[in-house]
Structure 1
Amino acid sequence: MTVPPSQEAAGGAAATPPEGRAPLWIAAAAVFDAEGLVSSRGLCRPELRPERPPSWRALFDSPCAGYRRLPLRAKLLLTVAEAAGLALVPEPDEAALVLASTWGSLETDLAFAESLRTDRDLRPALFPYTLPSTCLGEVAIRFRLRGPTLCLSVPPGAEGAALEEGAAFVWGGEAPLALAAVADAVGAGGARAGARSPGARAALAVLAPEPGGLCPLEDLLAAADPWRRLGDRLRSSA
């Protein structure tokens, strides 16, 4: 389900743990943006660009059935999930999965609508991906996740809501871990439709209550752009 972030998350209140709850840490993470792909597992590929990601086999050893058919946004989300090492996270199956997106499935919506309009290149396989939350299902299938999922539609600059809502799942006792992510992929079609910041990026962070890992969650949330700060931290330690 796609919902706007809660008022609590939008105001930053969720960054503070409730009484009796431990602060959360970034246990694993990956970022794929204009500066390339980088992860907490030591993967650093500054030459890559999210607008044209390489084949799955060029990046990873394990196979990923159906990757080639996916829209770009779903590819990016799967890529950062794999790069972060979700397969190595202890007992991730009950983890909450939260995705924030400004433009959602806009590019796929436009491509599907165009295929209907012209009736020359009908692309029914695109239809499921006209829902912004469908790419969460791809991640859940890939990593056998069974926890709660949430897809947030946020204004530009509010993508940190995914981290806050993920923390709320853990602090509320609904999940032992949270996978917070951001993913947007807007090309020329989206730009023509009014998207002010065309481009592509994705990032994912594993939120865990155990101390250690990359940094405390509150360190990211103190930044104007938490995901940019995450990328900077990953690159400084790569």
Structure 2
Amino acid sequence: MKKDTQQWYASWFDSPFYHILYKDRDHTEAQHFMDNLTNYLNLPEHGEILDLACGKGRHSVYLNSLGYKVTGVDLSENSIEYAKQFENETLQFEVHDMCKPYKKQFDAVFNLFTSFGYFDKEEDNLNTIKAISADLNEFGFGVIDFMNSEYVIDQLVSEDIKTVEGIDFHQKRSVKDGYIIKDITFTSHGENYQFQERVRAFTLKDFEALFAKAGVYLLDIYGDYKLKKFNPKTSERLVMIFK
């Protein structure tokens, strides 16, 4: 079995197989979320947004098309290299560790699609929220779009196979030591691969504690991309707006 010894997210997110497995993500839904979110926040015209953990830049590109000046940052060098093809005067991409403050401030910092809670070091979760706070200007808003862990655990499918581009991805899911874990194994061109996703099963209460430590104020909580009221039992998402 091929298994990377790096932090799992550094190797898995940089792998082409990650993008194959998740190629069917709903771009229309993501765009509607960005429409709803930017309208709700009433960001200034041509306002500046930091897309934190931007991946290949799908949210960044769409936000830029709405007229915002966008900086997309991610730890994955491969993802940033791909995203750079979309750059223009008001859209830039850069490799950056989200645990550390960026070099300027923004009208909004978006951390989208459960791009949080991966770290091996507990303090890095707090450091990320502190960094987001440091990246906001006086009137700026921070947004974390996380899974609703309670709902995800309740709906967890322990095992399945997803076939994409002729690759059978065997997925096993479990909850252990406060983490939601997905073990992914597959064979491609005669090579066996094994990856693992580990995300802290943070609840709203956990985030509230982190926000208090970071000195930020939680303004609003929503349960889906239409910005409907959050329900811990039935909401699929946990969307938090703070400053």
TM over 0.5: no
Q: TM-score, normalised by structure 2?
A: 0.31
Q: Would you tell me which structure has more helix in proportion to its own residues?
A: 1
Bigger relative contact order, structure 1 or 2 (CA pairs below 8 A, ≥6 apart): 1
Q: Would you tell me which structure has more strand in proportion to its own residues?
A: 2
Q: TM-score, normalised by structure 1?
A: 0.31
